[in-house]
Chain A
């Protein structure tokens, strides 16, 4: 089976000479949920921006469901890779929730009842269908984050990429979002510092530091590996012990 996401030997330096990635290899199979962990400055954002071709020009290749990320394919690539950015105010730029969710599919040429149906479907998946006519700035932060997820779900992506999905959420919104994400029938790649959240949502984690993947395995094993964790500035929050939850079955 073709992997949802295949990154091979990806290296990238910014125009100012700062090298952010030094040869990243990562394969994510269809339906997997994978967390990307790593300290600030590890290259996580740079990696994310390569997945849909916002950044290109370095060495190595990225493929999404077999389709290489190159200029000719960008339109289809951006449909297949749905990035949810960290600040929902960056993601929601249209005057109403409905128009925001419609923006992606409309750019793909969809119109009329088909578009309406797609918008409704995406909003229903995140439990926000009754807010379609609201302006985004009248929603709570947690609701805006959910609508942001809907804006990319409306494009029926192959893979959903989330940048710090739990940041700034109150505990209830955080759990609600987790419930929604766990119910989505889509491959998920989630960049986060929130280790309990990674543990709850993603059976597998990769650890990115210094522009390379330094660990790749089950989230449980990684979080229990104190030596690797502390070597890369990762620490479990006070009072949280994955062993008290136990390794997930399977």
Chain B
């Protein structure tokens, strides 16, 4: 049985200047951009418009449709809920909005949290839409991320579909015997399945390790693919973080 091809969903296959940039340049650019956004002084709100415009520019050059970005922003929902709660639960002076008494501090914090969070999420979505997952890992390796972490992520990328397929087979087996999760009591059954899935994955990990040892693995993965970057690529990738850093710096000066 073959599973669906669920994994490249985040990546949009295009031929643009941004797609062609070496992954390590893009990762570093997003990281610096996010740090600059987070460092924006509390008292200002105009910088967020600049950041958003900068991201809009990147999306336009990379030909990533707005709808795609919006649809993927669902990952942010838990933050949004938290942000929406802030004005209600925060203390301090209160203001009336449509007859509801809200905390002024909370409103401000909620706006900042939402703005910063959204910008970070959009930047990551753009990174994922323009870089293949495999290249992301190679980029992290190039940026000297600890080898073990890169290895863990590489194996995750390789085995996520195998584990998902296993999960699907277990669900089909459950349902074929008449099981349907209808009330909280059924959580017990689902928890058992999760445990069984964990054990199976663990055992697979042991078998994979055996197969690795059998082919001469001695604790270090050989580096077989490398992604090189030219200074010109770094220069192009630096544009986005430069805009963000300049904006933050200006905001600190003129606040």
Contacts and interface: CB of A to CB of B under 8 A. Distances in A.
A125 to B, nearest CB: 16
Contact of A151 (B5, B210, B215): B215
- Candidate in A79, A89, A104 with the most chain B CB atoms within 10 angstroms: A89
Contacts of B225: 99
Given A93-B158, A95-B157, A78 B215 contact: yes
A74 to B, nearest CB: 9
B162 A104 contact: no
Nearest to A137: B161
A94 B158 contact: yes
14 contacts: A49-B210, A52-B214, A54-B213, A75-B216, A75-B218, A78-B215, A89-B204, A90-B204, A94-B224, A95-B157, A96-B134, A107-B216, A135-B158, A155-B216
A152 interface: yes
- Candidate in B5, B155, B211, B212 with the most chain A CB atoms within 10 angstroms: B211
- Specify the main secondary structure of chain A where it touches its partner: helix
- Candidate in B159, B204, B213, B216 with the most chain A CB atoms within 10 angstroms: B216
A79 B158 contact: no
A93 B216 contact: no
Task: Report the interface size class on chain B.
Answer: 20 to 34
A79 B208 contact: no
A49 B208 CA distance: 14
Interface in B193-241: 204, 207-208, 210-218, 222, 224-225
Contact of A99 (B161, B217, B218, B224): B224
A32 interface: no
Given A102-B222, A107-B216, A93 B208 contact: yes
Nearest to A107: B216
Nearest to A151: B215
Nearest to B204: A90
Contacts of A94: 154, 158, 224
A75 B222 CA distance: 15
Given A75-B216, A83-B214, A85-B207, 16 more contacts: A79-B216, A82-B214, A83-B211, A89-B159, A90-B210, A93-B155, A93-B211, A95-B134, A103-B212, A103-B224, A104-B215, A107-B222, A136-B158, A137-B158, A138-B5, A155-B215
B2 interface: yes
B222 A90 contact: no
Contacts of B161: 137
Contacts of A102: 222, 224
A78 B216 contact: yes
Contacts of B211: 83, 85, 90-91, 93
A103 B137 CA distance: 17
Nearest to A109: B222
B158 A107 contact: no
